[in-house]
Structure 1
Amino acid sequence: MGVAWERIKNGIFNENVTFVQVLAMCPTLAVTSSAQNGFGMGLSTTVVLIGANFVVSLLRNFIPDKVRIPAFIVVIASMVTLLQFLLAAYVPALNKSLGIFIPLIVVNCLILGRAESYASKNGPISSIFDAIGQGLGFTLSLSVIGMIREVLGTGKFIQWQVLPKEFPALIFILAPGAFITLGILMGIINNRKLKKARNAN
């Protein structure tokens, strides 16, 4: 359990996809106009990541090096196809809201990166926990960015009015708002890291 917790904690904090590795910026900036979209995208990516890591880890000794990357992409694409069928059947509103970004999970560098750097070199159980950690970190990041943009851009959180109706700044639910929100959050996180490093010295 110690190793499992370490992989999960590492994915959420030390190697956070959005704020530390700065990967998967396309969905991060495109679908986080609301907390619901951010959470849905993060959770969808996590499901694909867990499935892909597990299958790649099981097949790691059977996939020739020359076709390693194409094989990983086939595995990821299969997982995304299954996910899209499930979303269309059981959560059609979310499927419609996320649109083209569900199929684009296939080329999400987070999933291919974890398949290459971790799942292809480690056992299935460890790879699953690595995927859970990375996926939770990604989901948390997208949900926080989506929540901030939704509240500042619409004055609402999901369906609840949390700010005065005249307060919302429309820019936050538009493309520039995604860059502004991400930049401010990354600045806060990096500032905290610098302070911790200084205090440690």
Structure 2
Amino acid sequence: MSDTNYRDLSLNGLWKNNPAIVQLLGLCPLLAVTGTVVNSLGMALATLFVLLASSTSVSLIRGFVSDAVRLPAFVMIIAAAVTCTELLMQAYTYELFQILGIFLPLITTNCLILGRADAFASKNSIGPAMFDGLMMGLGFGVILVVLGAIRELVGTGALFANMDLLFGEGAKSWKIVFFDDYNQFLVAILPPGAFIVTGLIIAVKNWIDDGIKKREAARTAGQPKESRRVRVTGTIS
């Protein structure tokens, strides 16, 4: 693939076709575990690992799997990647593994991962498939972390609490308290807060996209006028 294609893959994964706020895939973990930054980051890393592993594996076997068993094979690959992720988290971040709970094995049924395996990885070579998995995973993970940061800040008045669950004892000092004696705003931490904040993030993205389209339309509309003015001036002279 050319550089232009890779640039398009980046833009699609991170912005234009972001799986969380455009495709609206993987909403179950998006809404359920994003109460804090550490939970969001843990789920984001787990999803990114599974996306990379599954996209790479599906691309490798795409020429050897018949259509009859294609989807079952993809599900088995994704399930194996999720199992490896769970074992790694049990070994190194056990408390966070317990907090994320059932939502880790549910990555197996995440429409984002199966969709990218079937729609892209099964039709492309290993390089583009890996890059697509990376960009889609990063796009999904960024929204998870932003959502978790907003909910944690509004809900508790602090950020980066319990980061030691993911990064070890040295991360206990990472917590930043913005408001002393802050009365917790529980709606932000509970699932209704996830719906509200997700809706606001989608609204902000749509507002930015509308602004970009209006500027592009104005620039496009202005170009013919300029070119006509140049031609008329040249004729008169």
TM-score, normalised to structure 2, is: 0.81
The alignment-based identity, stated in percent, is 41
User: Alpha-carbon deviation of 1:128?
Assistant: 0.4
Q: What is the SS of the residue equivalent to 1:120?
A: helix
Unaligned runs of 5+ in 1: none
Q: Which residue number in structure 1 is paired with residue 168 of structure 2?
A: none
Q: Which residue number in structure 1 is paired with residue 192 of structure 2?
A: 176
Q: What is the SS of the residue equivalent to 2:123?
A: coil
Which deviates the most, 176-185 or 187-196? 187-196
- Count of aligned residue pairs for this structure pair: 201
Q: Which residue number in structure 2 is paired with residue 157 of structure 1?
A: 159
User: Alpha-carbon deviation of 1:31?
Assistant: 0.5
Paired amino acid for 1:96? Q
Q: How does 1:50-65 map to 2 (within 5 A)?
A: 50-65=52-67
Q: Which has the higher contact order (CA 8 A, sep 6+)?
A: 1
Contact kept, 8 Å, 2:62 with 2:122, in 1: the verdict is yes
Deviations 1:84-119 (A, max 9, x none): 111100111221121111100000000000000000
Q: Which residue number in structure 2 is paired with residue 129 of structure 1?
A: 131
Contact kept, 8 Å, 2:156 with 2:182, in 1: the verdict is no
Which deviates the most, 84-93 or 114-123? 84-93
Q: Which residue number in structure 1 is paired with residue 212 of structure 2?
A: 196
**Distance in 1 of aligned mates of 2:212 and 2:10:** 22
Q: Which residue number in structure 1 is paired with residue 37 of structure 2?
A: 35
**Distance in 2 of aligned mates of 1:12 and 1:195:** 18
User: Alpha-carbon deviation of 1:167?
Assistant: 4.9
Deviations 1:57-97 (A, max 9, x none): 01001111011111100000011011111110011122112
Highest Rg: 1 or 2?
2
Q: Which residue number in structure 1 is paired with residue 23 of structure 2?
A: 21
Q: What is the SS of the residue equivalent to 1:104?
A: helix
User: Alpha-carbon deviation of 1:161?
Assistant: 1.0
**Distance in 2 of aligned mates of 1:53 and 1:178:** 29
**Distance in 2 of aligned mates of 1:164 and 1:16:** 36
**Distance in 2 of aligned mates of 1:7 and 1:140:** 16
Unaligned runs of 5+ in 2: 161-174, 218-237
Give RMSD over aligned pairs.
1.3
Q: List structure 1 runs of 4+ shifted beyond 3 angstroms.
A: 3-6
Which deviates the most, 156-165 or 56-65? 156-165
